[in-house]
Amino acid sequence: QQQVKQSPQSLIVQKGGISIINCAYENTAFDYFPWYQQFPGKGPALLIAIRPDVSEKKEGRFTISFNKSAKQFSLHIMDSQPGDSATYFCAASIVNIGGATNKLIFGTGTLLAVQP
């Protein structure tokens, strides 16, 4: 129930294309869903996050789509660039329950390669 399932494991996209990464969860208590970007040798960096009261959030070229009934959320990277090549992790946590620690449960990661 604590798992977050992420797909695909790897993704190759042409420059200018759309990259789509999907995640699914089981625990309906999750109420915070961030996406992190990680470059080799670096720590994960927060890209964008969403709460379940909205179905979509957009920041620049990055968009999260959230489907509460299906317990799924996805990251869309528009106009993908070679500089976007990195590993992307979805995550989920519980915020609004007494005693919640906001610890992140991560998906298994997606290695994105954007070809020039």
Partner 1 sequence: GAGVSQSPSNKVTEKGKDVELRCDPISGHTALYWYRQSLGQGLEFLIYFQGNSAPDKSGLPSDRFSAERTGGSVSTLTIQRTQQEDSAVYLCASSRGGTGVTHEQYFGPGTRLTVT
Where does this chain bind partner 1 (CB under 8 A)? Answer: 32, 34, 36, 41-46, 49, 51, 89, 91, 95-96, 98-109
Query: CB-wise, 42 or 69, nearer to partner 1?
Result: 42
CB of 41 to partner 1, least distance (A): 7
Query: CB-wise, 67 or 102, nearer to partner 1?
Result: 102
Query: CB-wise, 63 or 93, nearer to partner 1?
Result: 93
Query: CB-wise, 70 or 103, nearer to partner 1?
Result: 103
Phi, psi of 100 (to 5 degrees): -65, 145
CA angle 27, 73, 37 (to 5 degrees): 105
C-alpha–C-alpha distance, residues 101 and 116, integer Å: 42
CB 102 within 8 A of CB 41: no
C-alpha–C-alpha distance, residues 14 and 5, integer Å: 25
Residue 84, SS3 per DSSP = helix
CB of 99 to partner 1, least distance (A): 7
CB of 105 to partner 1, least distance (A): 7
